[in-house]
Structure 1
Amino acid sequence: MLDKLSHADFAPTVNQDWSLEDSEGNTLALQLISAVEKPTWHAPQLSPRVPFLLSFLGPLAPIIPQGLYILSHPAIGRLEGVLVTPQHATGSRQDGHCYQVNFN
């Protein structure tokens, strides 16, 4: 299912809450703060989809490590096996920590 999703699927959910679940069933609330197409990353011979980047804001604690997670949203459903990358160096804010998900 992940390979069928596009930027257009996520754009309506910007500024909405998502749920992140780890392999042990622990959950964390995140907010999607941006969904941006990255046409300069596009390699049409590898994929017809224009790559895009999702940025999420999570709480100050806990900070989640990079890994595979399940992302859930009421309008989109459960997305299993999503690689979430913490943005520790540039993503710390007073109101939380930023995380990114790349779709190539």
Structure 2
Amino acid sequence: MAPTADLAALQLGDFSPQLDTIFDMEVAGGNIALRLVKADPGGQSGRAGGAFSLLFVAPAGPFLPQAIYPLEHPAIGRMEVFLVPIGPLQGGNGYQAVFT
């Protein structure tokens, strides 16, 4: 198991180098591979490092509801992120996380 990442300390620069890499999302019954396809700045916020958003693509299938999901990535670690389904994206299921 990877170390737990500090969500408050994560910045866009932590995710940008990880474009097109896989984040493992824990769900009941196993893991789903999420591919990070976009990492965009979101402007100024009260958050250190500013706001940003991430877009992930999962394999096509039934969409999971918006919720907090454990994600794990070898370079970033383990984190619990609120993901929102946004519809079909690049042949799979799109999910978005917004850090503000």
Whether TM exceeds 0.5 here: the answer is yes
Unaligned runs of 5+ in 1: none
Give 4+ residue runs of structure 1 displaced > 3 Å after superposition: none
State the TM-score, normalizing by the size of structure 2: 0.86
Is residue 86 of structure 2 the alignment partner of residue 87 of structure 1? yes
How far, CA to CA, are the matches of 1:28 and 1:84 in structure 2? 13
Give the superposition deviation at 1:94: 6.0
Matches within 5 A, 1:1-104: 1-22=6-27, 24=28, 26-39=30-43, 42-43=44-45, 46-80=46-80, 82-88=81-87, 92-93=88-89, 95-104=91-100
| Alignment RMSD | 1.5
State the TM-score, normalizing by the size of structure 1: 0.83
Q: Which has the higher helix share?
A: 1
Sequence identity (%): 36
Number of equivalenced pairs: 95
User: Which structure's CA Rg is the greater one?
Assistant: 1
How far, CA to CA, are the matches of 1:66 and 1:3 in structure 2? 21
How far, CA to CA, are the matches of 2:7 and 2:29 in structure 1? 20
Q: Which has the higher strand share?
A: 2
